[in-house]
Amino acid sequence: MTAVRETLKTHLPAPAANAIRVSRDALNRASQWPAATFHPWRRESIQQLAAFKDKHRGQRCFIIGNGPSLKQTDLSHLKNELTLGQNRIYLAFPEMGFSTSYYLSVNDLVIEQCSQEIQALSMPRFVSWRARKWLRPQENLFFIHTTYTGEKFARDARERVWEGGTVTYTSLQVAYFLGFSQVILVGVDHNYVTQGKPNATVVSQGDDPNHFHPGYFGKGFRWQLPDLVQWEDAYRLARRTYEADGREVLDATVGGKLTVFPKVEYGSLFK
């Protein structure tokens, strides 16, 4: 099948090949829809998520990324703020002195390898519907239907959510659903030392230079190389959606390379 696909890519005009890819992706999403809509675990999550819609209307939230810049960020300022942490952010909890208000993870490799750690958390957690392979239903654990394809910005997290290639884009959609009028990014460095083909799965050979903790994706951990171009396209969609609705996303990452959102000096947010 792979050989056939490569032959088609080589010989078909680009518009035709793209049309075939889009159709294939749509069919794949359609095949996921019944379980992601009617499975008892999903039905329960959908019902429970109703209580979270616009819960924080008019408030601000900090989405905490996992970049090395967190080591240069005074996170004590966030102790009494509403925060949304991602993936292995819990490795920072002991030093932070507090846990994030919310947690989100949609990456299969992270969830598979860290399922016990995620299951042990107690704050409201949003995980992909695919996570049901590794996580069991639990209080404050909500399955959201995320997909790799089908570009969109979901204003309602109970519906299908496009991942945009990065957990932070998914978090922006969940933050919107929660009602936040201002979302501030910290630790979203948008800069990776490790290079290679975007989305390729690799195995870490030593300490992790791309995150705040050397063991984040430490030796032996399987992870996917970033697709920064796709991420930026997704972020631009998020910015347009927030601004069209009179909301805003600001970037307070110390030394961050992301240029999509307006920059703000981190310390100025607490004066």
pLDDT at 13: 72
Task: Region of 140 please: left (phi>0), alpha (psi -120 to 50) or beta.
Answer: left
Q: Tell me, yes or no, whether 60 lies in a domain.
A: yes
**CATH number assigned to the domain comprising residue 59:** 3.90.1480
Q: Tell me, yes or no, whether 29 lies in a domain.
A: no
Q: Tell me, yes or no, whether 253 lies in a domain.
A: yes
CA–CA gap between residue 156 and residue 164 (Å, rounded)? 16
Look up the pTM and report it: 0.91
Q: How many domains does the chain have?
A: 1
Q: Tell me, yes or no, whether 10 lies in a domain.
A: no
Q: Tell me, yes or no, whether 12 lies in a domain.
A: no
Q: Tell me, yes or no, whether 261 lies in a domain.
A: yes
pLDDT at 60: 98
Find tokens 């992706």 and name the residue.
Answer: 25
Q: Tell me, yes or no, whether 33 lies in a domain.
A: no
Q: Tell me, yes or no, whether 121 lies in a domain.
A: yes
pLDDT at 172: 98
Domain membership of residue 52 as a residue range: 39-270
Low-confidence ranges of the chain (pLDDT < 70): 1-12, 14-23, 25-26
Model pLDDT for residues 144-187, shown as the tens digit of each residue: 999 999 999 999 999 999 999 999 999 999 999 999 999 999 99
How is residue 237 written in tokens?
A: 């969609």
